[in-house]
Structure 1
Amino acid sequence: MPTPGPACPAPALFTDRYELTMVAAALADGTADRDCVFEVFARRLPHGRRYGILAGTGRLLEELPHFCFGDDELTALREQGITDQRLLDWLADFRFGGDIDGYAEGDLYFPGSPVLTVRASFAEGVLLETLALSVLNHDSAIASAAARMIAAACERPCIEMGSRRTHEEAAVAAARAARLVGFASSSNLEAGRRYGVPTTGTSAHAFTLLHDDERSAFQAQVDTLGPGTTLLVDTYDVDQGIRTAVEVAGPGLGGIRLDSGDLPTLATHARELLDSLGATRTRIVVTSDLDEYAISGLMAAPVDRYGVGTSLVTGSGAPTVGMVYKLVERDGVPVAKKSKDKVSVGGRKHAVRRHDADGMALAEVVSSRPITARDGDRDLVVPLVRGGEVCSPRTPAEALEEARLHHERARAALPAEAWALSRGEPALETVDA
């Protein structure tokens, strides 16, 4: 039995075996070098959702230069029974040399939007399928859920804190995706290191329980972090916890956190008690299994910040957005899948977002024919990679910041009803030119 290798090999092994099977067969019959166009799109949005947010493009471009098969990867393939020497020799020399276009990261997408287009030989293009879909499906699901939470919060800051509810690498990606759509900070330190996401965190109930009494725990935290810290006040009795917190930190206490109970009622009572104790500027932070609906239900309560965990990192009911990676053109000829319920449209797509005179978005125009531009149209497809080289290299932190700002601009063009939490049809209809 093979000895287990490193936990995180090169991204080339983050793939499905059937891709190598296809490449091997295509090399054998001479079709591997055919010029092909693959597109990534979602046939539909998750049930009842009105928009999607494209996220993960920056992470995919980070991975692309490292998508190769070194000695360790080739050894791993042999150990799994992949012994076709023609295939192994081809993989040993593989570096992606094609072109990639797509929507700018942070943009909105709708059914049929060509969010990523890969033009390369068949063998090169098909190898990217699993990695592209893995990254884009996950990150877009998180960003789309996070955007709904941001809308529900109505400009009150949201904190991402779901690392303990998902895979360790998914946690970093989730923190990045949440930041992209407007989350103020994350508890995840690796997201801070890789992407410059602001990080925050104070203490858990375990820290209070460690001490002989609540006062001792609060005193230790204040002595270390200063009176501007946020104290967790619901380990025992909330009222007494608030009183003790203000006694220890003074009326300049930065914040209290509520993590259980009837949060709207508790927050209202906590605000009254804090004000009566002179802590009028102490913030109230609430956590405890929040999602966009719970956040919306707290809108009338005097809550200053929301901490979101499980629902965020699981896409709040939509852990994937159903993007697919389909061959749409071969040697310049449109090709398309015609099977029932999974029909696709052949040919490389053009896409613009149509706006009215006030700059509000009206429709997503997607066509395999050139689109005659109108006043207010915005081209959605931009160059990302040419000849295997990323067009505009950015540091990971710079790429995230650029995507965050792009998202703000794209979001501002949607009509207000698009951000409603109630189920409905896509906010923009996808139409042909």
Structure 2
Amino acid sequence: MDELSTATSTALCTDQYELTMLRSALAHGTAHRRAVFEVFARRLPDGRRYGVVAGVGRFLDALERFRFDEDTLAFLRDRDIVDEPTADWLASYRFSGDIWGYAEGECYFPGSPILVVEGSFAEAVLLETLSLSVLNHDSAIASAASRMVTAAGGRPIIEMGSRRTHEVAALAAARAAYIGGFSSTSNLAAGQRYAIPTRGTSAHAFTLLHDSEKETFTAQVAALGRGTTLLVDTFDVREAVRIAVEVAGPDLGSVRIDSGDLLVLAHEVRAQLDELGATRTRILVSGDLDEYAIAALGVAPVDAYGVGTALVIGSGHPTAELVYKLVARSASNDPESPVIGVAKLSTGKPTHKGRKWARRLLDNGIAAAEIVSTGSEADLPGRRLLVPLVKDGEIVGREPLDAARERRARSLAELPPTALMLSRGEPVLPTMYESGQDAET
């Protein structure tokens, strides 16, 4: 199976227990009760002050391909995962309900209902693993990327993590990083699929291919022009910078430093470039950077960063800790039967019952609280957060990737200034749960 194909069915991106529940519910006659599931985080990853929603567009694409074809059903029958009645039902599966969600790029907090899935239990329960695998990964990456962008203070960051993760995850990471504020990616497949700007320099192997750095730089400049980026830390940085300017002249585009004490080297290289007349030549640094290393380089004459490993592992938090829980269901299969709130009381894992709406309470343009309510959305104060993504089975929530990228910047800008702190801390907004006129924090 071509894992990169946009035509591949996503139906088996599903944990077996979802089909176990479906099979049992169909046999028992409860499968067609109306149900509401929510995706939310009980808590943010340890020490984080906010999260960034990402993966919504990828989830909608995957939902469109969530179909059980003959090969898929044959596999499920052979393993006795489904019986014939269940297989017959799955053969015509099409999600026909409604899905609401936080738009991509929106900041979120503990309890934020970032995805609300409404449909029959049978239709909605199957989407648990698909939604969580996409949103947990992408939101973790976008959240880490956003912190790195803040640390960079306006200097661009190139996503360079493809070699440190699965080839399919690399595309998702590049997309999420762009939403989080990264300026470009080194991954060409991500550039093609998502129209993200792409950038690339060269590796030490290219230098070692040649008999000297002068030959290396001459070959690269001849092929790519004086605006290229030359890698200067294979041997002696100072000598490499001298040769780079000798070969390319003062109009050399950039030099890249990938090792050593980047803070010290950046100052030394900037001074040397200026002495050689290459005052417009930029300095790109890379090599095991995370938001803390980027922040430490804030006083250095660095023009851009390249980040790989730390990004694709969410800078230490590779999951957003999102869960998918049933919060309401009807008492019968009658479509007119009222939907009632349900909640689990498990130790350490309780849920809040009822279908919820969310608004962000603002005070003079600065966010003050996340309001999550089972009441009427129209009665809630603040900025609306949930937007329609799927209506009666039809996808209505697609948008350009740049819209998500811009939303991340706007959403972050309205948070209290403490949101931008890199030190460990609590979420910058409290989550207030409301039911009618009663509220709890």
TM-score tier (shorter): over 0.9
Measured in 2, the distance between the counterparts of 1:199 and 1:124 equals 39
Instruction: Say whether residues 1:363 and 2:362 are aligned partners.
Output: no
The answer to whether the 8 A contact 2:389-2:398 is kept is: no
Would the alpha carbon gap of residues 107 and 84 (structure 1) be closer, same or farther in structure 2, given more than 3 Å must change? same
**CA distances 1:196-249 after superposition (whole Å, capped 9, x unpaired):** 100010210000001111111111110111000000000010001000100010
Partner of 2:72: 73
**CA distances 1:82-140 after superposition (whole Å, capped 9, x unpaired):** 35111111111101111000111110000000000000100100000000000000000
My pick for the range that moved more, 381-390 or 79-88, is 79-88
Partner of 2:219: 220
Measured in 1, the distance between the counterparts of 2:213 and 2:282 equals 20
Partner of 2:385: 380
My pick for the range that moved more, 33-42 or 80-89, is 80-89
Letter in 1 for 2:192: R
Would the alpha carbon gap of residues 79 and 208 (structure 1) be closer, same or farther in structure 2, given more than 3 Å must change? farther
The answer to whether the 8 A contact 2:285-2:306 is kept is: yes
1:199-238 to 2 correspondences below 5 Å: 199-238=198-237
Letter in 2 for 1:305: A
Partner of 1:416: 417
* Matching residue within 345, 350, 354 for 2:357: 350
1:124-273 to 2 correspondences below 5 Å: 124-273=123-272
How far has the Cα of 1:75 moved from its partner? 2.3
1:303-342 to 2 correspondences below 5 Å: 303-331=302-330, 332-342=339-349
Secondary structure of 1:50's aligned partner? coil
Letter in 2 for 1:415: P
Instruction: Say whether residues 1:102 and 2:131 are aligned partners.
Output: no
**CA distances 1:388-416 after superposition (whole Å, capped 9, x unpaired):** 1011444xxx2x11111222221111122
Instruction: Say whether residues 1:62 and 2:61 are aligned partners.
Output: yes
Secondary structure of 2:298's aligned partner? coil
How far has the Cα of 1:79 moved from its partner? 3.7
My pick for the range that moved more, 74-83 or 304-313, is 74-83
How far has the Cα of 1:74 moved from its partner? 1.4
* Matching residue within 377, 383, 395 for 1:390: 395
Would the alpha carbon gap of residues 80 and 218 (structure 1) be closer, same or farther in structure 2, given more than 3 Å must change? farther
How far has the Cα of 1:431 moved from its partner? 1.1
Instruction: Say whether residues 1:431 and 2:432 are aligned partners.
Output: yes
The answer to whether the 8 A contact 2:100-2:390 is kept is: yes
**CA distances 1:28-76 after superposition (whole Å, capped 9, x unpaired):** 0111100000000000001110000000001101111110011121122
Measured in 2, the distance between the counterparts of 1:72 and 1:213 equals 56
The answer to whether the 8 A contact 2:184-2:198 is kept is: yes
How far has the Cα of 1:350 moved from its partner? 1.3
Measured in 1, the distance between the counterparts of 2:3 and 2:417 equals 45
Would the alpha carbon gap of residues 68 and 418 (structure 1) be closer, same or farther in structure 2, given more than 3 Å must change? same
Letter in 2 for 1:106: G
Letter in 2 for 1:246: V
Secondary structure of 1:55's aligned partner? coil
Letter in 1 for 2:387: V
Secondary structure of 1:41's aligned partner? strand
Measured in 2, the distance between the counterparts of 1:300 and 1:134 equals 38
Would the alpha carbon gap of residues 58 and 6 (structure 1) be closer, same or farther in structure 2, given more than 3 Å must change? closer
Q: Over aligned residue pairs, what C-alpha RMSD do you find?
A: 1.3
How far has the Cα of 1:182 moved from its partner? 1.2
Secondary structure of 1:11's aligned partner? coil
Letter in 2 for 1:381: L
State the TM-score, normalizing by the size of structure 2.
Answer: 0.94
Structure 1, unaligned runs of 5 or more: none
Aligned pairs, how many? 423
Partner of 1:285: 284
Letter in 1 for 2:411: A
Measured in 1, the distance between the counterparts of 2:425 and 2:50 equals 10
Measured in 2, the distance between the counterparts of 1:89 and 1:301 equals 64
**CA distances 1:136-171 after superposition (whole Å, capped 9, x unpaired):** 000000000000000000000001000000011110
Instruction: Say whether residues 1:276 and 2:281 are aligned partners.
Output: no
Measured in 1, the distance between the counterparts of 2:3 and 2:168 equals 11
Measured in 1, the distance between the counterparts of 2:195 and 2:281 equals 27
Measured in 2, the distance between the counterparts of 1:128 and 1:121 equals 12
Structure 2, unaligned runs of 5 or more: 331-338, 435-441
Measured in 2, the distance between the counterparts of 1:317 and 1:368 equals 34
Partner of 1:32: 31
My pick for the range that moved more, 20-29 or 76-85, is 76-85
Measured in 2, the distance between the counterparts of 1:6 and 1:202 equals 29
The answer to whether the 8 A contact 2:370-2:432 is kept is: yes
